[in-house]
Structure 1
Amino acid sequence: MRVTLLGTGDTTGTPTPGCSCATCERAREMGVERTRFSVHVTNEVTGETLLIDASPDFRSQFLTQGVPLPDAAVITHIHFDHLDGLGNVYRLVNSLDVYAAGETDPQTGESVAETIQRKYHYLDQVTVTEAAPFETFRAAGLDVTLVPVDHPPLLCYGVIVEDGDSKLALTGDTTYAVPDDSRDRLANADLLLADGMLPASACEHHPIGGADHDADGVPRTFGTKHMTRKGALDLADELDADRTRLVHVSHHYGAEDAFADDMAVDGETFTV
């Protein structure tokens, strides 16, 4: 599999429009971006391509990275920065198989798959298929599995993509409190893409602080929805990932840390 990181940022991206913080200025100087989250996977045997999450930056991502338009897509949850790019397939693809969890979310009264069907009912190109957590399905000639993670108040899922012995794992948007069954399935990946939205120090500015503290009192969860860098790296160690890149990264890291080796930027590619 060839993996291209189309979008590695959070909801505002880096640089953030209108922001002149040191990190955004450093990104401009370096000529790098973290647009809204999306990952592109190419099946190097069949040539088929899989999109994981449909970023609002869909058009610019595909133009910038020069990867083929997707044959199939997986949507992890219904927050706009992971879903609202789906409308971009209009007049760009003839057909797109979209896979999403079919379990009903108590918060919305419908599943992720049903939300997609409702919002994009006008897209004749899109065929939505419900997937059950922990049950592997085939998409773009690859084995794909959704696993529940922890991103309240909505249901959200991590994603595992396998091709023979090769394994890509994504935590999805989550706190450090990933359920044990999901951890078991995410373990031993050749490449892990882990939500590391903020540094642990940012928890000082959240109304409820941080959670899931390590033995030294460092929070591994920021607030209620995302991991800190500490949480993401600790989870990667526990999952015994061969390689780890932190994604869904905000501009709230200090400029001296924001572009460290473990912090992904758009356009990175990996062979898995």
Structure 2
Amino acid sequence: MRVTLLGTGDTTGTPTVGCDCDTCEAARERDVERTRFSVHVENERTGETLLVDFSPDFRYQFLRDDVAPPDAGIVTHIHFDHLDGLGNVFRVLDSLTVYASGETDPQTGRSVAETVAEDYHYLSALEVHATTPLDPVRTCGFDVTLVPVEHPPLLCYGVAVEDPETGAKLSISGDTNYDIPAQSREALADPDLLLADAIVPAYFCEHHPAGGRHEGPDGVPRTFGHKHMTREGALALAEDLNADRTRLVHAAHYYPPEEAFEDPLAVDGEEYVL
């Protein structure tokens, strides 16, 4: 299993358009970036590739990192920074199977799968499969499980990708706060590589109108506001899941420059063989 981090940033990415903050300037000087979230997973046994989330930066990411177009895709939720890149498959792919949850979202009245199928009805290449959360599906030679997480007000899912031949496992927290259900934690547990949402350091909770929540024993918030984990929350999740290796993703440009590019914060283009 070869994992390429195509996009490791939040909804605006780093550098952010029109921003001259110290962190964005440092990213430009170092020639590193965090585009909107997407992960490319290659099955070297079968020659197939799986894409987790369709970043609006799809075209740029695939050209920059020179990875193969996907044979199948996963959509974790319907926020634009995880979905809107799907339109890039127009006239690029002849066929693409997309897996998304069939669970109806009370907020929208539609499942993620229904939203994808209806909003991208003009893409003849798409074949959308509604999946049941926590029920693995076999695609690209992998066992792939959509895992319910907490990203209010929308339903959102993490992803576990396992190679049944080698036992390699990739877990992706998805966009989530720290309050991930126990059954979901079990599905994500014991990964060789964990990609965990870590939008800001915990001390930034003092700047959020909703503050922080899900404090650890040390009183440090593990959730920033309502929707995302802090860096400290993501690291606590990694410990709870017994992750062999952890990279922090969906990072905002609010990390100060002296922290923004330090391990375990990921940047685009990182590659891991599991």
TM-score bracket for the superposition, by shorter chain length = over 0.9
Residue 242 (structure 2) aligns with: 240
Aligned to 2:121: 121
Quote the Cα distance in structure 2 between the aligned partners of 1:162 and 1:231.
Answer: 24
Paired AA for residue 160 in structure 2: I
Q: Distance in 1 between matches of 2:249 and 2:168?
A: 20
Kindly provide the CA deviation profile for residues 50-96 of structure 1, in whole angstroms up to 9, marking residues without a partner as x.
00000000000000000000000000000000000000000111100
Aligned to 1:108: 108
Secondary structure of residue in 1 paired with 2:154 = coil
Q: Aligned equivalents of 2:73 and 2:93: distance in 1?
A: 12
Question: Which residue of structure 2 lines up, in the alignment, with residue 153 of structure 1?
Answer: 153
- Partner SS state of residue 182, structure 1: helix
Aligned to 1:166: 168
- Equivalent residue number for residue 264 of structure 1: 266
> Equivalent residue for 1:222?
224
Between the two proteins, the alignment pairs up a number of residues equal to: 272
Query: Match of 1:204?
Result: 206
Residue 47 of structure 1 deviates from its aligned partner by 0.5
Please give the root-mean-square deviation of Cα atoms over the aligned residues, in Å.
0.5
Residue 231 of structure 1 aligns to a residue whose secondary structure is helix
SS in structure 2 of the partner of residue 150 of structure 1: strand
In the aligned structure 2, how far is the partner of 1:263 from the partner of 1:152?
Answer: 24
Which position in structure 2 is the counterpart of 1:57? 57
Which position in structure 2 is the counterpart of 1:184? 186
- Identity level (%): 66
Q: Distance in 1 between matches of 2:161 and 2:121?
A: 27
Q: Does 1:36 align with 2:66?
A: no
Residue 217 of structure 1 and its aligned partner are, at CA, apart by 1.2
Q: Name stretches of at least 5 consecutive residues in structure 2 with no aligned partner.
A: none
Question: What SS does the corresponding residue of 1:156 show, helix, strand or coil?
Answer: strand
Which amino acid in 1 is paired with 2:116?
A: I
Equivalent position amino acid for 1:262 in 2: P
CA distance in 1, matches of 2:51, 2:241: 24
Question: What residue is the counterpart of 2:140 in the other structure?
Answer: 140
Instruction: Using structure 2 for the length normalisation, give the TM-score.
Output: 0.99
Cα distance in 2 between the residues matched to 1:4 and 1:221: 26
Name the CA distance, whole Å, in 2 between partners of 1:92 and 1:139. 20
Deviations 1:95-146 (A, max 9, x none): 0000000000000000000000110000000000000011000111211001
Structure 1 stretches lacking a partner, 5+ long: none
2:69 aligns to what? 69
Query: What is the Cα deviation at residue 201 of structure 1?
Result: 1.2
SS in 2 for 1:67: coil
Aligned partners of 1:246 and 1:139: how far apart in 2? 26
Indicate the residue corresponding to 1:250 in structure 2.
Answer: 252
Equivalent residue number for residue 97 of structure 1:
97
SS of residue paired to 1:134: coil
Q: CA deviation at 1:48?
A: 0.3
Paired residues for 1:5-20 under 5 Å = 5-20=5-20
Query: Which segments of structure 1 move beyond 2 Å, counting only runs of 4 or more?
Result: none
